[in-house]
Amino acid sequence: MARESKTARKLRAQAIVQVLADAYPRSRCALNYETPFQLLCATVLSAQTTDVKVNQVTPLLFDQFPSPVEMAAADVGAIESCIQTIGLWRNKAKFLKGLSQMLLDDFAGELPTTVAELTRLPGVARKTATAVLGTAMGLNAGITVDTHMLRINALLKLSTATSADKMSKELEDLVPQDHWNVYTHRIIDHGRLVCVARRPRCGVCPLADLCPSHKSPKAGYKPANDDKEPASAAGLSWLG
């Protein structure tokens, strides 16, 4: 295959964005929250932990500590007791208390609206900052890259980066800015429902014509049936 020019890759990326929009019109953040602060906390908790497990602990956490005021005043042990079933819970409890105190001290209890300011908070990396700004505030400040994004964008040959920050910057040159936030959610849904890591469902992939890694299904192909959510529940009648 001839080397793809940046212009051609950008045009292909824009076509991928449109196909994803048609295929996953209801994609959204999988974390449960009511306020930007709660989404920030949930996103910090999600590091090296599944969204499902985070959603299991946040109801109690947010019932006891719904805002930076309560979280900052809490004993760290009380925060730990709410989240001790998820990975790295001791460090994450310290992060939640610390970021809450900094929000009160430096930002009058409100979440700042830039990546530079958000990443000053304990436990908040660029990935967390862009996710919160995009999902909770509607600000397309950057593309959030997680493991699904790293794997699938590599398969799509949109980026050769192996780090989240480098891939974010490469994709931001290709994907229209008004799609930055929802692009991540749609790729995540695509990774969970179709481009499954251990058994990709190439036979039903809507991106087949745009994916250099696409493989025609062999005779007797049977799609994987290990979706966490039925396709019908996600409004994906084409998937079945």
Residue 226 falls in the annotated catalytic set:
no
Catalytic, 146? Answer yes
Q: Which residue among 51, 53, 146, 169 is the active-site one?
A: 146
88 CB burial (10 A radius; 0-12, 13-18, 19+): middle
User: What is the identity of the amino acid at 35?
Assistant: T
What are the residues whose beta carbons fall under 8 Å from the beta carbon of 206, sequence distance 6 or more? Answer: 19, 20, 22, 23, 194, 238
> Could you tell me if 86 and 92 are in contact, meaning their C-beta atoms sit under 8 angstroms apart?
yes
Q: How many residues does the chain have?
A: 240
Tell me the CA distances in angstroms from 184 to 15, 89, 104, 144, 180, one per residue in order. Answer: 15, 26, 30, 6, 7
Q: Sign (positive/negative) of CA torsion 141, 170, 204, 227?
A: negative
Helices (H), the chain: 6-23, 36-45, 51-64, 68-73, 76-83, 89-107, 115-118, 126-137, 147-155, 164-172, 180-193
Kindly report each contact of residues 210-215 with a partner whose C-beta sits within 8 Å and lies 24 or more positions away, as own/partner: 210/12, 210/15, 210/16, 210/19, 210/156, 211/155, 211/156, 212/1, 212/155, 212/156, 212/157, 213/155, 213/156, 213/157
Selected catalytic residue, list 92, 97, 127, 189 = 127
- The residues that are catalytic are 127, 146
